[in-house]
Amino acid sequence: MSPNDLLENIFDKFLQDSHVFKNREVLHPDYVPDNLPHREEQTRRIGNILAPVLRGSRGSNIFIYGQTGTGKTAVIKYVLNRLLQKGREIGAPIEVSYINCRLAGTEYRVLARMSGNVGLRVPFTGLATAEVFDRFKIVLGSRGSLLVVVLDEIDSLVKAYGDVLLYELTRINEGLKESRVSIVGISNDLHFKEMLEPRVLSSLGEEEVIFRPYTAPEILDILLQRSTAALLDDVLTEGALNLCSALAAAEHGDARRALDLLRVAAELTEREGKQRITEDEIRLAQNEIERDRVVEVLKTLPLHSKLVLFGAYLITKASIKNSVTGDIYEVYRELCTVLGTDPLTQRRVSGIISELDTMGVLNSRIVSLGRYGRTKKVSLGIPRGVVRNVYSEDHWVGQLVGYAPKCLSNKE
DNA sequence: CGTCCACAGGAATGACGGGCGG
DNA sequence: CCGCCCGTCATTCCTGTGGACG
């Protein structure tokens, strides 16, 4: 018995004492269920397209489109698992590489992870991207295997770095004798295709699979199925179930959202020692999810981004409305002086404000004040208290909690 | 109706930390 | 160990611009 099984038993035993969960795992975000309801068609199609690799020939490249929480990742992972399993049974040299491009971040890191998946170790940094790509090709050529590369959230990579890597990938087979590479690109941006060059598009888009958002009844169905597997009988009230699917359906049919809500609500119910999950728990879960996301973001920000955000917080606290980039920068500079840090330029701070905006912690929108210029109007995108709470524990920013910027006192 | 503010945001360039091959 | 090249983040310099004011 492996140590894992040992723990599995301990955990299972622990779980049996739970008055909420039957099997906690089923609601875990990464859990891939044995069957994916309402996605049979897509599963079948992708299976059909990739099946040729079992016989040693390359499958077509696939482009998958669908919004978040429509089951793209779950379906592809499910198909990959089954493909690997079948491959092992019949001794086909199949390898798969699943990469989330947004999490990987850069072209280089995507390539590095792809290389890692075929057994090529590359350093975090220091090598030219082209160099890693050459090595990757060499290893691939020497292995004589069939590789299925899945590039999830590929749009974020192409937006930031262009489609050069994609182009090189689609071309890779030309230079290989034995190995074959199939590419599966997953995107949730409809306009992604417009960012690709025609030659890349035609190659990647050999096959196209579209995942439509789940309808409200479908989400209800998924929730029902998962909750019966995950939770003890009679724990989930009908009202909670309905609210949960309604909230997720409103969010463009996002099933992941629904499952997150249910999981957090269930954990909450267990912690509180309550017997049933009601609509209240679902609502609390909704708040908790949002707050956790924000807290995580605020904590991991670089120092100067924190200071910019904290500046916006101080301005809001002084009940000044309509702050613009210049006001934020002024306060930010003062904060830097207090901390004895060199301030960044306004150009950079402007960029940081935009970054914070896309993260959703600031709201900024470009306005023209006519004679008084054109700028970004900035306001906090999250509750004031959250900023204070998170940063009062911060090593650097913590000193500034309660600080009243001088440059604000002579404004109204 | 033109002007001109207060920036936006693109492009080029530099500083820095890090791995590589010799 | 050195010189080289890389990715990342920041700086510098720049051109672009919506609309109130005169």
Q: Both tokens of residue A15?
A: 């779980």
Q: What are phi and psi of A60, to 5 degrees?
A: -65, 155
Q: Give residue-wise pLDDT tens across range A40-99.
A: 999 999 999 999 988 888 878 898 988 888 989 999 999 999 999 999 999 888 889 888
What confidence score (pLDDT) does residue A142 get? 77
User: Is any atom of strand C within 7 angstroms of residue A354's beta carbon?
Assistant: no
What confidence score (pLDDT) does residue A176 get? 62
What confidence score (pLDDT) does residue A410 get? 63
Q: Both tokens of residue A290?
A: 């949002």
User: Is any atom of strand C within 7 angstroms of residue A329's beta carbon?
Assistant: no
As a CATH number, domain A301-408 is: 1.10.10.10
pLDDT band at residue A7 using 50, 70 and 90 as cut-offs:
confident
Summarize the confidence of residues A241-254 as an average pLDDT.
88
Give distance CA A165 / C1' B13 (Å): 25
Summarize the confidence of residues A126-148 as an average pLDDT.
78
- Residue A402 Cα distances to A322, A335, A388, angstroms: 21, 12, 9
- CATH of A214-295, picked from 2.40.420.20, 1.10.8.60, 2.40.50.100, 3.90.1170.50, is 1.10.8.60
Which are the contacts of A61, defined by CB distance < 8 A and separation ≥ 6? A170, A182, A183, A184, A185, A203, A204, A205, A206, A207
Q: Check for a shared fold between A40-211 and A214-295.
A: no
Q: Which nucleotides of B are covered by protein (CB under 7 A)?
A: 3-11, 17-20
* Lookup: nucleotide whose C1' is closest to A329 CA: B7
Q: Following DSSP, what letter does each residue of A163-201 receive, concatenated? A: SHHHHHHHHGGGG-SS-EEEEEEEE--GGGGGGS-HHHH
Alpha-carbon span A181 to A200, nearest angstrom: 15
What confidence score (pLDDT) does residue A380 get? 93
Q: Is the pLDDT of residue A412 over 50?
A: no
Q: Which nucleotides of C are covered by protein (CB under 7 A)?
A: 5-14, 16-21
Give distance CA A148 / C1' C7 (Å): 27
User: Is any atom of strand B within 7 angstroms of residue A324's beta carbon?
Assistant: yes
Q: CA Rg, chain A, in Å?
A: 25
Alpha-carbon span A43 to A49, nearest angstrom: 10
| Model-wide pTM > 0.75 | no
Pick from A90-99, A186-195, A403-412 the range whose average pLDDT is largest.
A90-99
* % chain A with pLDDT above 90: 39
Q: Quick one: which residue's CA is nearest to C9's C1'?
A: A348
Q: Is the pLDDT of residue A164 over 70?
A: yes
What confidence score (pLDDT) does residue A26 get? 87
| Pairing between β-strand A180-187 and β-strand A362-368 as defined by DSSP bridges | unpaired
Give distance CA A348 / C1' C13 (Å): 14
Q: What are phi and psi of A119, to 5 degrees?
A: 85, 25
Q: Quick one: which residue's CA is nearest to B8's C1'?
A: A375
* Lookup: nucleotide whose C1' is closest to A126 CA: B19
User: Is any atom of strand B within 7 angstroms of residue A404's beta carbon?
Assistant: no
User: Is any atom of strand C within 7 angstroms of residue A126's beta carbon?
Assistant: yes
User: Is any atom of strand C within 7 angstroms of residue A108's beta carbon?
Assistant: yes
User: Is any atom of strand B within 7 angstroms of residue A122's beta carbon?
Assistant: yes
Q: Give residue-wise pLDDT tens across range A104-135.
A: 777 778 888 888 887 777 776 667 777 777 78
Q: Give residue-wise pLDDT tens across range A273-311.
A: 888 899 999 999 999 988 888 898 898 889 999 999 999
Every domain of chain A and the residues it spans? 40-211, 214-295, 301-408
CB A246 within 8 A of CB A216: yes
Mean pLDDT of chain A: 85
Q: Both tokens of residue A192?
A: 């992604």
Element (H, E) at A392: helix A384-392
Give distance CA A254 / C1' C14 (Å): 44
User: Is any atom of strand B within 7 angstroms of residue A64's beta carbon?
Assistant: no
Alpha-carbon span A176 to A168, nearest angstrom: 13
Output A197 or A335, whichever has higher pLDDT.
A335
What confidence score (pLDDT) does residue A14 get? 63
What confidence score (pLDDT) does residue A16 get? 61
Give distance CA A375 / C1' B8 (Å): 7
Cross-strand partners of A21: A231
CB A240 within 8 A of CB A278: yes
Summarize the confidence of residues A363-371 as an average pLDDT.
93
Residue A378: helix, strand or coil by DSSP?
Answer: strand
CB A83 within 8 A of CB A50: yes
pLDDT band at residue A386 using 50, 70 and 90 as cut-offs:
very high
Summarize the confidence of residues A227-248 as an average pLDDT.
89
pLDDT band at residue A259 using 50, 70 and 90 as cut-offs:
very high
Alpha-carbon span A405 to A54, nearest angstrom: 67
- CATH of A40-211, picked from 3.90.550.10, 3.30.1300.10, 3.40.50.300, 3.40.50.700, is 3.40.50.300
Q: Exposed e or buried b for every residue in A148-159, given b needs 16+ CB within 10 A?
A: bbbbbbbbbbbe
What confidence score (pLDDT) does residue A126 get? 65
Q: Is the pLDDT of residue A158 over 80?
A: no
What confidence score (pLDDT) does residue A191 get? 66
Closest CA relative to residue A77, chosen from A99, A57, A94: A99
Q: Give residue-wise pLDDT tens across range A204-227.
A: 878 889 899 898 899 999 999 999
User: Is any atom of strand B within 7 angstroms of residue A374's beta carbon?
Assistant: yes
CB A308 within 8 A of CB A291: no
